[in-house]
Amino acid sequence: MTTTAPRSALPVRTFAQLLSSTRRGARLARLLAAGQLRDWEVSPGVTERAEQVVAELAANAVLHGRVRGRDFRVTLTLDPAIGVLRIAVTDARGERRPSPVPTHRTDDPDAGRGLLLVAALTDRWGTEPYPPGGKTVWAELALPAPVRAASTPSASA
């Protein structure tokens, strides 16, 4: 007897783009991510949070993960079956792993708070090595439960 695993009716969607390690590349990452999430019809609340997270992670990739002549990559993975949007930004500087707490003092009162913002806007975030010498910083946002009222019979019927 042959059995097949059931297939999810909701496909996993992925978007990935290499961008130049410049301020313009970071800005483009945010704009492309926002557009893609709108195309996927992700809720406005999740899209707004994700847009800010992409902006912070892309800015960090440009400011702290830049290696001359190397690009950074933004990847979005939407998995409606498990209800998660995963944002990943990969850069070329694996030796510079981020910390959510500012580790150095600076004269700029706004410096070092980007990852605190990422932590506040997401459900989980972390880093992983990207061999041979890079790293990926990722963040996950839970998707709201789909509205099932129209397809579910009421208890009083």
pTM of the complete model? 0.80
What SS3 state is found at 155?
A: coil
pLDDT at 123 over 70: yes
Q: What confidence tens digit (pLDDT) does each residue in 52-80 have?
A: 999 999 999 998 777 777 889 999 999 99
What SS3 state is found at 106?
A: coil
pLDDT at 127 over 60: yes
Residue 13 has a pLDDT of 97
> Which amino acid type is present at position 53?
V
Q: Where are the domains of the chain?
A: 13-101+111-142
Residue 115 has a pLDDT of 86
pLDDT at 3 over 70: no
Distance of CA 141 to the CA centre of its chain: 8
- Residue 9 has a CB neighbour count (10 Å cut-off) of 7
Residue 47 has a pLDDT of 97
Residue of 125, 69, 133, 72 whose CA lies nearest to 99: 125
Structure tokens at 4: 């097949």
Mean pLDDT of the chain: 82
Q: Which residues contact 93 (CB under 8 A, 6 or more apart)?
A: 64, 65, 66, 67, 133, 134, 135
Structure tokens at 92: 């070329």
Residue of 13, 85, 19, 20 whose CA lies nearest to 48: 85
Cα 75 to Cα 77: distance, rounded to the nearest angstrom: 7
What is the domain class of 13-101+111-142 according to CATH? alpha beta
The most distant pair of C-alpha atoms in the chain lies apart, rounded to whole Å, by: 70
Cα 89 to Cα 63: distance, rounded to the nearest angstrom: 13
Structure tokens at 104: 């150095």
Q: What confidence tens digit (pLDDT) does each residue in 8-62 have?
A: 578 999 999 999 999 999 999 999 999 999 999 999 999 999 999 999 999 999 9
Full DSSP string of 7-63: PPSS--EEEEEEE-SSHHHHHHHHHHHHHHHHHTT--HHHHHHHHHHHHHHHHHHHH
